[in-house]
Amino acid sequence: MKSRAALLYGEGQEFRVEEIEVDDPKQNEVLVHLAATGLCHSDYHMVTGEYGPLHFPMIGGHEGAGVVEKVGPGVTRVSPGDHVLLTFIPACGHCRFCSMGLSFLCDRGAAILQGPQLDGTFRMHTADGQDAGQFCCISTFSEYTVVPEASIVPIDKDLDLTKVCIVGCCVPTGFGSAVNRADVQPGETVVIFGIGGVGINAVQERTGLLFSDGMQTTGSPAEPVAAAFPQLHVVATARSPESLARCRRLADLGRGRCAAAGSISEIPAAVNSCLAA
């Protein structure tokens, strides 16, 4: 079937929206009609070459949600018409790591940056017949995509797919960085560099954590964010000496945590400056 998709033909190039051909799903695969996708900085790493050698052309996107269009042989968890969330690491749910709650270590995720599906063959092709790689085996930068059954999570049909799509990556990343990795405790002060999809999910009130002071540093307008989260102190940019002084004053890093980072380029200088008090 035909689909429009955003393809990257090599490092340093721009994504190009083109018409592609999408094959039917094979064994244990699902064809999904995407309703929405998130745009994550991880997709930009393909442009900058930070992943190393990739199969080009590659269709980007690794967090999305949509409706099942067709299922391949062996699929048992979903049927056409079901609403699903796509995840960037396929997880079998049965191996040692999945049974321990460590599905991100599932062996099925070992080759998600290589391009082909789990069986080593391709489901997407350019108009001139080239095999197009699928980023993380799901390529949500396409109207239609074929994904492993292990990469889908069935969800209720009353959930808004345009919001659910980011639960595939930035929501658990931000939430987990604060709750699991940084182990933020009630009453602690937290500094967050950047307030994108990851950063905002580290400070959202629904985590149930009671921050004495939450603070984010970002170069983009953040007034709406501050209004939604009154426990936040908004600092314009991590590069400003005045902002760094405010960081040290508001968030005693000797007793707090660095919970999440949303602006990679500013982290080293910002953290070092904050600590050099």
What DSSP letter does each residue of 119-132 carry, written as one string?
A: TS--SEE-TTSPEE
Q: What is the pLDDT of residue 110?
A: 82
**42 labelled catalytic:** yes
Q: Which amino acid is at 260?
A: A
**125 labelled catalytic:** no
Marked catalytic residue, from 42, 103, 263, 273 = 42
User: What are the DSSP E strand ranges found in 77-221?
Assistant: 83-86, 124-125, 131-134, 144-148, 152-155, 189-193, 213-217
**45 labelled catalytic:** yes
Q: What is the pLDDT along the chain (277 residues), one digit of tens a residue?
A: 999 999 999 999 999 999 999 999 999 999 999 999 998 888 888 898 888 888 999 999 999 999 999 999 999 999 999 999 999 989 888 889 989 988 888 888 888 888 999 999 999 999 999 999 999 999 999 999 999 999 999 999 999 999 999 888 888 888 888 888 778 777 676 777 777 778 778 776 444 433 334 444 444 455 566 666 666 666 655 566 776 676 666 655 445 555 444 455 555 555 565 555 4
Mention every residue, 6+ apart, whose C-beta is less than 8 A from residue 180: none
Q: How far apart are CA 189 and CA 252, in angstroms?
A: 7
Q: How far apart are CA 97 and CA 106, in angstroms?
A: 6
Q: Do domains 2-164 and 171-275 have the same CATH topology?
A: no
**136 labelled catalytic:** no
Q: Which amino acid is at 218?
A: T
Mention every residue, 6+ apart, whose C-beta is less than 8 A from residue 267: 193, 261
Question: Reduced to 3 states, what is the DSSP secondary structure of residue 191?
Answer: strand
Tokens found for residue 120: 């080593």
Among 143, 135, 149, smallest CA distance to 56 is for 135
CB–CB of 225/202 below 8 Å? no
Mention every residue, 6+ apart, whose C-beta is less than 8 A from residue 122: 23, 115, 116, 131, 132, 133, 134
Element (H, E) at 245: helix 241-250
**169 labelled catalytic:** yes
Q: Which strand ranges, in their side-by-side order, compose the sheet holding 144-148?
A: 144-148, 29-37, 64-71, 83-86, 152-155
C-alpha 6, offset from chain centre: 17
CB–CB of 92/98 below 8 Å? yes
Q: How far apart are CA 249 and CA 5, in angstroms?
A: 48
pTM for the full predicted model: 0.80
Q: What is the pLDDT of residue 183?
A: 80
Q: Which amino acid is at 45?
A: H
Counting DSSP H helices and E strands in the chain, the numbers are: 8, 14
C-alpha 97, offset from chain centre: 21
171-275 is a CATH 3.90.1520.10 domain: no
Q: What is the pLDDT of residue 23?
A: 97
Q: What is the pLDDT of residue 156?
A: 95
Marked catalytic residue, from 169, 170, 258, 274 = 169
CB–CB of 135/109 below 8 Å? no
Marked catalytic residue, from 3, 40, 103, 165 = 40
Homologous superfamily in CATH for domain 2-164? Medium-chain alcohol dehydrogenases, catalytic domain (3.90.180.10)
Domains of the chain by residue range:
2-164, 171-275
CB–CB of 150/93 below 8 Å? yes
Q: How far apart are CA 277 and CA 199, in angstroms?
A: 24
Marked catalytic residue, from 33, 41, 45, 233 = 45
C-alpha 127, offset from chain centre: 28
